[in-house]
Amino acid sequence: MKNLKPIVAKRPFTVYFDVTTGITDQMDRMVTRRLSDYQGMFLDDNALEEMLKKEDKVVCNFTELGLEEVEENLLFGTSIVYPGKVGKEYFMTKGHFHAKINLGEVYYCLSGDGMLVMETPDGDTEIVRLKPGVSVFVPGRWAHRSVNIGNAPLVTFYVFRADAGHDYETIKVKGFRKLVIENNGEPAVIDNPKWKGLSK
């Protein structure tokens, strides 16, 4: 992770985001995730290994503005998931719970075609379609992952309370209960055969 100083915002400020590409004028505060960051997280480990022999592709970028992580602040930015697949499984964000699990988030799709995959620790699941103009309220306790099912970048804008924090580890270890794969040229939601139903 880049080691930029937190922004201490005492006055209003603006950030530019391109609505088609999600690209911002704060590119030094964009985090890049590549295929090699997803070891064990896609269904088809062999497909991932074969792809990595050729190229460590960028899977997604997201803004990490670095505002102070205090409850008075809101963190916001764009998430960009590039088109692609590992085996039959579409490129996606890693997905996470919030460290303060009761804090929610809002997503607003700017461009592309995708799914937001969500689940609670108790096993409730919800998957919604992301298209430009669709906003999603993700309540507290719902882990969330965006999946790009189209041929162009999937760009979403998000806002959450700045002290929410991120728990990526639970999803890394357990996975999501549901996966989005391509089946006969169409996106399909399946139960995750690798899901590890351990208690959280």
Give the interface with Mn ion as residue ranges (CB under 5 A): 105
Cβ nearer to Mn ion, comparing 62 with 90: 62
Q: Which residues contact 85 (CB under 8 A, 6 or more apart)?
A: 91, 182
Instruction: In angstroms, give the least distance from the CB of 144 to Mn ion.
Output: 6
Rg, the chain, Cα only: 16
b (16+ CB within 10 A) / e for 140-169: ebbbbbbbbbbeebbbbbbebbbbbeebee
CB of 139 vs Mn ion, minimal distance in Å: 12
Q: Which residues contact 26 (CB under 8 A, 6 or more apart)?
A: 15, 63, 65
Q: Which is nearer to Mn ion, 51 or 157 (CB)?
A: 157
Contact of 150 with 112, CB cutoff 8 Å: yes
Q: CA 92 to CA 85: how far, in whole Å?
A: 9
Q: Which is nearer to Mn ion, 42 or 160 (CB)?
A: 160
CA atoms within 13 A on the CB side of 85: 17
Quote the least distance from Cβ 103 to Mn ion, whole Å: 9
The smaller minimum CB distance to Mn ion, of residues 105 and 119, is found at 105
Comparing CB distances to Mn ion, the nearer of 77 and 175 is 77
Let me know: does 35 contact 86? Beta carbons within 8 Å. Answer: yes
Q: How far is the CB of 138 from Mn ion (least distance, A)?
A: 7
Q: State the nearest-atom distance from the C-beta of 164 to Mn ion, in Å.
A: 7
